[in-house]
């Protein structure tokens, strides 16, 4: 018998939260963190997808560069889930919930060259980092602990983003994916990088 589909309930005000915050504030922070948890879960799965589907002359370098990023981003997800629970809310990590709650589409490249994937990942990382920075702005008051967690994660994400962008930059510091707004357009812009 197939399991009956049920909708995950949206984040509500928890019955308790951390000292110094109201339960309403705890629920609001938990909802922000749930969005970030969804984004990081999606990111580590996307990075693993790229790890499996990257091809071409730069295959081994990119393949091996991505695994530590997968592990680090997965660990970031765990930190956020535990913070949500600490705030008195329930973190949701099911695939169906992630898909239902996210505001972005699935990663759009399958088997592709290393530089194409890195171009697409430039767009992915940009979105995740921008949203993390927005969450930092929203959480600092009333919750500097959550703000600190997001700041530390942003620093690590920005480092990984630099690793990606270093492959897309020319000696003059020009980024091949500049002004690209989609994964596909960024991948297409990498053509001149591949032929250097």
- The answer, yes or no, to whether residue 6 has pLDDT greater than 50, is no
pLDDT tens readout for residues 13-72: 899 999 999 999 999 999 999 999 999 999 999 999 999 999 999 999 999 999 999 999
Within the chain, strands assigned E span: 54-55, 112-113
Cα→Cα distances 117→59, 158, 166, 168, 194, Å: 11, 17, 13, 11, 11
pLDDT of residue 12: 74
18 lies in a domain?
no
pLDDT > 70 in the chain, percent = 93
Cα–Cα–Cα angle for 69, 67, 191, nearest 5°? Answer: 85
Is the distance from CB of 189 to CB of 176 less than 8 angstroms? Answer: yes
Asked whether residue 91 is assigned to any structural domain, the reply reads yes
DSSP conformational letter for 141: T
Q: What is the CATH number of the domain that holds 146?
A: 1.20.1260.10
Are 109 and 53 spatial neighbours (Cβ–Cβ below 8 Å)?
yes
**Cα within 13 Å of Cα(42), Cβ side:** 24
Reading the block at residue 15, the tokens are 């019955």
Residue 5 within a domain: no
Q: Where are the alpha helices (DSSP H) in 10-58?
A: 23-53
Which 8-state DSSP code applies to residue 102?
Answer: -
Q: What pTM, to 2 d.p., does this model score?
A: 0.92
Q: Is the per-residue pLDDT at 84 higher than 80?
A: yes
pLDDT in tens, 107-120: 999 999 999 999 99
For residues 178-193, average pLDDT: 92
User: How many domains, the chain?
Assistant: 1
Q: At 1, is the pLDDT very low, low, confident or very high (cuts 50, 70, 90)?
A: very low
pLDDT the model gives residue 171: 93
The answer to whether the CB of 93 falls within 8 A of the CB of 8 is no
Q: Which of 58, 63, 168 is nearest to 119 (CA)?
A: 168
Average pLDDT on 112-133 reads 98
Domain span at 45 = 23-194
In a domain, 62, yes or no: yes
pLDDT digits 0-9 by tens, 8-28:
445 578 999 999 999 999 999
Distance CA 127, CA 39 (A): 9
């Amino acid at each position: 018998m197939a399991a009956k589909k049920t909708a995950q309930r949206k984040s509500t005000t928890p019955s308790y939260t951390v000292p110094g915050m109201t339960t309403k504030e705890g629920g609001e922070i938990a909802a922000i963190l749930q969005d970030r948890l969804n984004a990081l879960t999606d990111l580590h799965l996307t990075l693993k997808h790229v790890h499996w589907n990257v091809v071409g002359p730069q295959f081994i370098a990119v393949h091996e560069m991505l695994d530590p990023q997968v592990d680090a981003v997965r660990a970031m997800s765990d930190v956020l889930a535990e913070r949500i629970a600490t705030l008195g809310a329930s973190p949701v990590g099911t695939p169906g919930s992630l898909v239902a709650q996210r505001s972005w589409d699935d990663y759009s490249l399958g088997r592709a060259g290393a530089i194409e994937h890195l171009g697409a990942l430039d767009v992915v990382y940009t979105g995740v980092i921008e949203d993390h920075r927005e969450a930092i702005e929203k959480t600092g008051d009333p919750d500097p602990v959550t703000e600190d967690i997001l700041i530390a994660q942003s620093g690590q994400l920005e480092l990984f983003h630099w690793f990606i962008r270093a492959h897309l930059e020319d000696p003059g510091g020009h980024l091949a994916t500049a002004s690209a707004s989609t994964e596909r357009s960024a991948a297409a812009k990498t053509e001149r990088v591949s032929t250097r």
